[in-house]
Amino acid sequence: MFDPIQVRQDFPMLRQGKTMQGHPLVYLDNASTTFKPDCVIEAMNRYYMDETSNSHRGDYDLCYNADRRIESARHAVAEFLGAEDKEIVFTAGTTESINLVAYGYGLKFLKPGDEILLSVAEHASNMMPWFRIAELTGARIAYIPLEDGKITVEGLRKSLNEKTKIVAIAYVGNVLGYVAPVKEMAKIIHESGALFLVDGAQAVPHLAIDAKDLDCDFLAFSGHKMCGPTGIGVLYGKYENLCKMDPFLTGGGMNVKFSKDATSVCLPPPMKYEAGTLNIAGIYGLEAAVKYLASIGMDNIRAHEESLKRYAIEELKKTNMVTIYNEDAPSGIVTFNIHGVFAQDAATLLNSKGIACRSGQHCAKVLPEELGTVATVRASFYLYTTKGEIDALVEAVKKGGDFLDAYF
C-alpha cells in the first residue's frame, strides 16, 4: 500500500500549501479533473523546451523523435489496458472518443428501427452523440432500467432485443459511482449480436482494466481525470471494428493519398482516426501519467479510495444532517445533500471553508428524475486524498447547521 501523504509530495498543487477562502485547499472534485504530478508536467515541458517538432511530417531527427515518442506513449497506454498498440487511438478525450464511434460506426451502420441502448445515468457525452445519430439514421434510443441507481445484468437482459445494435454505458457512473458489471454485460450483448461501448472516464483512472478480458468493443477515457493533461484522451477499439468504421475527422496525417476526383485512401487504424496535428505534449504527458499510476498500482488506488469512502460515509452519517444517495457504491464518490440546504448553496458553503466539491446535476441531466432530487453535492476522492480532508468536509457540513440557523 502507498502512503497518500508521501504521494502528495509528487503534486505541485498539493505541496505548495495552497489556500482557498483563507483555508487550506481541500480538493474533493477529482471526478471532474485531477491534479498533475511533476513527472507529467516535466514530460510536457520536455516536449516544449527540448523536443518540439511535428510528428509524421519530416525527415529529420527531431521529427523522428516525436514519432518515436508517440508510438512509445501508445505502447504504454496499450500495456496499461492490456490492449494492442494498434487498438489505441489518441483523441481529445472521452467526449471526442464517443463521438468518433457514434459518427464513425453509428452513422455508417445504423438503420431506421435499430436501437441504441443507454442508461439514464449516462453523462451528456454518452447521451447526446447517440441522440444525434438516432436523429440522423432513424434509430431509436432505449434505456436499461436502473435498480436503486444501478445497472444490472437482469436489467440489460430485459432491454436487449433483436433491434439493439449498440449498447453504450459508463463502467463507473459519474454521479453515483456505481460500477457496472461490464464483463458479464459484454458476453450477453455479444450473444445478441450488438456492439458494446464502455465510457471509461470514471473507471480507467481508478480500476485495474484489462480490455481483452472485459471484451468490450470500445472503451473511451480522458487523460485529465487520471493525473494526465487536459485535451488528450483515448479510444480503445477492437481492431476489426476500427477497420470497419469511417473516420470522423479527415485531413492531414490520416491519409495515404487523395486526388482531384475527390477520392482518398486512409492510413490503417489507429492513424486513420488521428487527423491533423496531434496534441503531442498531451501524449507525452499521458504516457507519464499511465506509468505513474502503474507504479503506484491500480489495485492500491482502488483500495485507498474505497477505504476513504467507507470512512466518509461513517462520519457524514454521524452528523445526522445528510442524505447520502450512493452509500453502497464501491468507488471514491460520495453523493449527498445537507438537509434543508440546496446543493449549490452547500457547495458555496463548502467553498467558504476551502473545500472544493461539485454540485448540481454533474452533466447527467436525466438521472435526478430517478433520484427524486434536482441536484446533489458530489465529493470525489483520488490517490492523494487523506482522511484529514474528509474530516474537514464533515466539519464544514456540520457548519451547514449554522448556515440554516442564519436564515430560519
> Catalytic residue at 39?
no
Q: State the Cα–Cα distance between residues 364 and 124, nearest whole angstrom.
A: 6
Considering beta carbons, is residue 173 or 400 the nearer one to ligand PMP? 173
Strand ranges of the sheet holding 358-360, from the earlier edge strand across to the other edge: 322-324, 333-338, 376-380, 358-360
Residue 34 in the binding site for ligand PMP (CB under 6 A): no
Residue 74 in the binding site for ligand PMP (CB under 6 A): no
Instruction: Please check whether residue 358 is in contact with residue 32, taking contact to mean a CB–CB distance below 8 angstroms.
Output: yes
Q: State the Cα–Cα distance between residues 33 and 25, nearest whole angstrom.
A: 15
Instruction: Please check whether residue 176 is in contact with residue 335, taking contact to mean a CB–CB distance below 8 angstroms.
Output: yes
**Cell of residue 242, nine digits:** 476500427
Single residue of 363, 370, 398, 399 touching ligand PMP by CB under 6 A: 363
SS3 track for 207-270: CCCCHHHHCCCEEEEEHHHCCCCCCCEEEEECHHHHHHCCCCCCCCCCEEEECCCCCEEECCCC
Considering beta carbons, is residue 125 or 137 the nearer one to ligand PMP? 125
Considering beta carbons, is residue 278 or 396 the nearer one to ligand PMP? 278
Site residues for ligand PMP, 77-116, by CB under 6 A, read 93-95
Q: Binders of ligand PMP: how many residues, by CB under 6 A?
A: 13
Single residue of 201, 227, 290, 383 touching ligand PMP by CB under 6 A: 201
Q: State the Cα–Cα distance between residues 158 and 198, nearest whole angstrom.
A: 19
- Backbone φ and ψ for 196, nearest 5 degrees, come out as -125, 115
Sketch the per residue contact string, 288 through 327, with ligand PMP: x for CB under 6 A, - otherwise.
Answer: ----------------------------------------
Residue 359 in the binding site for ligand PMP (CB under 6 A): no
Considering beta carbons, is residue 151 or 396 the nearer one to ligand PMP? 151
Considering beta carbons, is residue 353 or 358 the nearer one to ligand PMP? 358
Considering beta carbons, is residue 24 or 360 the nearer one to ligand PMP? 360
Give the range of 52-60, 197-205, 327-335, 385-393 binding ligand PMP by CB under 6 A.
197-205
Q: Min. distance of Cβ 230 from ligand PMP in angstroms?
A: 8
Q: Which residue has the cell 456540520?
A: 398
Single residue of 34, 159, 164, 202 touching ligand PMP by CB under 6 A: 202
Give the range of 37-45, 195-203, 206-214, 397-405 binding ligand PMP by CB under 6 A.
195-203
Site residues for ligand PMP, 209-268, by CB under 6 A, read 222
Helix or strand or coil: residue 197? strand
Residue 128 in the binding site for ligand PMP (CB under 6 A): no
Length of the chain: 408
Considering beta carbons, is residue 36 or 123 the nearer one to ligand PMP? 123
- Cβ neighbors of 402 (< 8 A, separation 6 or more) are none
Q: State the Cα–Cα distance between residues 321 and 285, nearest whole angstrom.
A: 42
- The H-or-E segment that residue 304 falls in is helix 298-318
Q: Min. distance of Cβ 150 from ligand PMP in angstroms?
A: 15
Q: State the Cα–Cα distance between residues 222 and 90, nearest whole angstrom.
A: 10
Q: State the Cα–Cα distance between residues 41 and 214, nearest whole angstrom.
A: 32
Q: Min. distance of Cβ 202 from ligand PMP in angstroms?
A: 5
Sketch the per residue contact string, 163 through 182, with ligand PMP: x for CB under 6 A, - otherwise.
Answer: -------x---x--------
Q: Min. distance of Cβ 302 from ligand PMP in angstroms?
A: 17
DSSP state of 199: E
**Whole-Å CA distances, 294 to 90, 125, 224:** 19, 27, 16
From 39, 63, 266, 363, the catalytic residue: 363
Q: Min. distance of Cβ 146 from ligand PMP in angstroms?
A: 15
Instruction: Classify strands 358-360 and 376-380 as parallel, antiparallel or unpaired.
Output: antiparallel
Considering beta carbons, is residue 144 or 394 the nearer one to ligand PMP? 144
- The H-or-E segment that residue 184 falls in is helix 182-191
374 beta partners: none
Q: Residues with catalytic annotation?
A: 363
Residues that bind ligand PMP (CB under 6 A): 93-95, 123, 125-126, 170, 174, 199, 201-202, 222, 363
